[in-house]
A = this chain, B = another copy of it.
Amino acid sequence: MSSPKSRRRGGATIDLVLCSARAGRLHVLVVKSASGKPVLPFVWSVDGETLEETARELAKDITGHGIPWMAPGVATASKKHPAESALSVPFVGVMSATTPTASGSAWVAVDALPALAPRQKALAEGALETLRLHMDVAPVAFRLLPPAFTLSELQQVYELLLGRRLHKASFRRALQAAYLAEPTDEWRSEGRGRPAQLFRYSPRKRRGGHRSVRFDLIGR
């Protein structure tokens, strides 16, 4: 897990919570530790690099791909870490469920986690909150999907993140008004029902773009 050049700077590890959406549930990537137990990927903090740079390198080592969106999570020092690190600085990344998963790693649902070390379990469970915090301001939902996706898929991801069902027509109207997605000329037939048009994330420059006051979510 720890490359030869790494030093145990500060006894802090960078822990990765890589997320994808499968079957309407949030999943995180789990690997096997040297002792065979399931762990979130982690690495000792490396001098001379940004924490996020280190996290992205680790992610690339594990998945073989760059991570389309990533944000820092909530640093945690309490509870037991698999490598006994004093402090974990988590990074929460998202990727498409269609990205091939390397052997030795597995996607597990966050609401049915295996026997992770307590700290890593808490980090994984905190990932959804981090995603929710950023989803209004960053293309989190879009990055949980492959480059081409259907609007139903996008809506399902939003429903997963928000934890509630959405209305189809309202969802599409709002999306269109924001000029965030562009239709491609491709269609996908999922078996039953009418084929769906594929869209691409392509934010166009918008006028206005001023955020308004939002009282409705304060205090639960």
Contacts and interface: CB of A to CB of B under 8 A. Distances in A.
Interface of A: 9-12, 45, 47, 49-51, 72, 74-78, 85-87, 89, 133-134, 136-139, 142, 158, 162, 164, 166, 170-171, 174-175, 177-178, 180, 203, 206, 209-211, 213-220
A213 B77 contact: no
A162 B220 contact: no
A197 B203 CA distance: 44
B89 A175 contact: no
A18 to B, nearest CB: 18
Contacts of A85: 10
A220 B209 contact: yes
A171 B215 CA distance: 10
A51 B72 contact: no
A219 B174 contact: no
Contact of A214 (B9, B51, B136, B142): B136
Given A10-B87, A12-B12, A77 B45 contact: yes
Nearest to A142: B218
A120 to B, nearest CB: 16
A206 B210 CA distance: 27
Contacts of A166: 213
Nearest to A155: B213
Contacts of A89: 75, 87, 89
Contacts of A216: 177-178, 206, 209, 211
Contact of A9 (B11, B209, B219): B11
Given A9-B87, A74-B72, A87-B10, A215 B133 contact: no
A213 B12 contact: no
A180 B219 contact: yes
Shortest beta-carbon contacts, A-B, top 6: A178-B215, A10-B11, A10-B86, A203-B219, A10-B10, A136-B214
